[in-house]
């Protein structure tokens, strides 16, 4: 009889571990799926819930919950049968980035104010921070908070570098009005939270060409 109870308790332990694993696995997968959905919306502008359900082999209800959560976070806008990127209609189409020439998206816009009332726009904080580093005459800079869309002063904003969500230039840089928002986003999408100066230094380092040393030079033939 004791052997039976021992076997049963072992069974229960294994079951609860399995349950923990399944819960963990499902949570992981849900956040991965949401990352991919956001990427699709960024690329195509619109997604259909039925297409996503087929692609991920999950129920429409699951996709509906994904879109619901992304909409709650302000990352997408739900429309009949699917979702679109938020406020696409209001996006200016003619403005291009001063750094790379890509179209400036309202969602990730970065504006540099020069002393003579000139404004320079960048497609995303990646280009914006590079631009800011190269324009010492800039008097101020604003960036769109990624969650709420408000323009915030970059000096008090925080930046999330290298998250899984690449909407524009790589490595991806997203701007948040505060550390709490950035932290919540980081929990799902990874990346590193940095202040303005840290992010600038990090990007400069990342984008710099390797130093050419005299000894390793290869002669051109």
Q: Do the Cβ atoms of 151 and 164 come closer than 8 Å?
A: no
Q: How far is the CB of 123 from Zn ion (least distance, A)?
A: 3
Give the contacts of 84 (CB within 8 A, at least 6 positions apart): 41, 45, 46, 47, 76, 77
Cα 99 from chain centroid? 20
Binding mask 75-104 for Zn ion (x = CB under 5 A): ----------------------x-xx-x--
Could you give the angle at which helices 2-44 and 60-72 cross, rounded to 10 degrees?
60
Q: How far is the CB of 204 from Zn ion (least distance, A)?
A: 16
Residue with tokens 């619109």: 46
Pairwise CA distance, residues 87 & 85, whole Å: 7
Binding mask 160-179 for Zn ion (x = CB under 5 A): --------xx----------
Q: How far is the CB of 50 from Zn ion (least distance, A)?
A: 31
Query: Count residues contacting Zn ion (CB under 5 A)?
Result: 10
Nearer to Zn ion, 52 or 147 (CB): 147
Q: Do the Cβ atoms of 84 and 76 come closer than 8 Å?
A: yes
Q: How far is the CB of 193 from Zn ion (least distance, A)?
A: 19
Cα 132 from chain centroid? 21
Nearer to Zn ion, 49 or 176 (CB): 176
For the chain, give the longest Cα–Cα distance. 88
Residues 108-147 touching Zn ion, rule: CB under 5 A, are 123-124, 126-127
Q: How far is the CB of 194 from Zn ion (least distance, A)?
A: 17
Nearer to Zn ion, 52 or 97 (CB): 97
Chain positions contacting Zn ion, by CB under 5 A: 97, 99-100, 102, 123-124, 126-127, 168-169
């Amino acid at each position: 009889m004791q052997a039976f109870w021992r076997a049963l308790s072992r069974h229960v332990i294994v079951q609860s571990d399995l349950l923990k694993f399944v819960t963990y696995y499902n949570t992981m997968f849900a956040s991965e799926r949401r990352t991919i959905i956001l990427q699709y919306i960024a690329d195509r502008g619109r997604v259909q819930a039925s297409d996503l359900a087929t692609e991920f082999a999950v129920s429409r209800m699951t996709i509906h919950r994904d879109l619901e959560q992304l909409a709650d976070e302000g990352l997408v806008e739900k429309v009949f049968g699917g979702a679109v990127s938020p406020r696409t209609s209001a996006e200016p189409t003619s403005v291009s980035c001063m750094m790379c020439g890509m179209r400036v998206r309202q969602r990730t816009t970065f504006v540099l104010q020069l002393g003579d009332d000139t404004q320079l726009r960048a497609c995303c904080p990646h280009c914006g921070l590079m631009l800011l580093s190269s324009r010492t005459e800039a008097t101020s800079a604003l960036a769109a908070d990624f969650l709420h869309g408000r323009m915030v002063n970059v000096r008090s904003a925080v930046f999330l570098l290298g998250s899984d969500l690449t909407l524009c230039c790589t490595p991806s840089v997203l701007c948040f009005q505060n550390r709490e928002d950035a932290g919540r986003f980081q929990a799902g999408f990874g990346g590193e939270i940095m202040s303005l100066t840290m992010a600038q230094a990090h990007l400069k380092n990342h984008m710099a060409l390797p130093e050419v040393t005299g000894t390793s030079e290869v002669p051109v033939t």
